[in-house]
Structures are given as structure tokens and as C-alpha cells.
């Protein structure tokens, strides 16, 4: 399961992407749940708009951590 959460913080918006095995046990390689968090600065949201800023940060996370996508199929 791939879980994406967004919530406000003092200086912007926190974007959290977590990959969790559906069966909640370690995979054969010994890897457990994985979580990546980024804060979208308020200035970026004001300059780009909320939708575009979120899309930009989510694409960055997926590109930098491609292993997260395997959780979407588990």
C-alpha cells in the first residue's frame, strides 16, 4: 500500500509518502515500511499554487525514491 498524507505545518505543508507492505511483515530482502517526508514552503505554494506545488513535490519524491512505487502493487 502506498499512503500519501499532507498536513499543514508552521512554514508550509508537510507531504509524507509511506510505503507499507499490505501483509505488515518484512519482505524477503528484510526491508520494512519506508517513509519519506518533505515540507513544501509557503513561498512555493504562493508562487506555484497548491495543486502545482504538491504535484511537483510528489514527482520529486517518486523520482528520488523509485522503490516506493513497488508498495503500490503490494
Query: What pLDDT does residue 37 have?
Result: 92
> Whole-model pTM?
0.77
Mean pLDDT of successive 10-residue stretches along the chain, which has 74 residues: 92 91 61 81 96 95 87 77
What is the full DSSP assignment across 6-66? EEEETTEEEEEEEE--TT-S--TT----EEEEEEEEHHHHHHH-HHHHHHHHHHHHHHH-G
Q: How far is the CA of 35 from the CAs of 3, 38, 61, 70, in angstroms?
A: 9, 10, 10, 13
| Structural domain boundaries in the chain | 2-73
What per-residue confidence (pLDDT) applies to 25? Answer: 58
Amino acid at each position: 500500500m502506498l499512503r500519501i498524507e499532507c498536513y499543514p505545518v508552521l512554514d508550509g505543508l508537510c507531504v509524507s509518502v509511506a510505503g507499507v507492505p499490505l501483509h505488515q511483515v518484512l519482505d524477503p530482502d528484510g526491508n520494512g515500511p519506508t517513509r519519506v517526508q518533505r515540507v513544501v514552503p509557503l513561498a512555493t505554494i504562493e508562487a506555484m499554487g497548491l495543486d502545482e506545488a504538491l504535484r511537483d513535490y510528489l514527482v520529486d519524491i517518486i523520482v528520488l525514491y523509485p522503490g516506493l512505487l513497488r508498495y503500490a502493487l503490494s
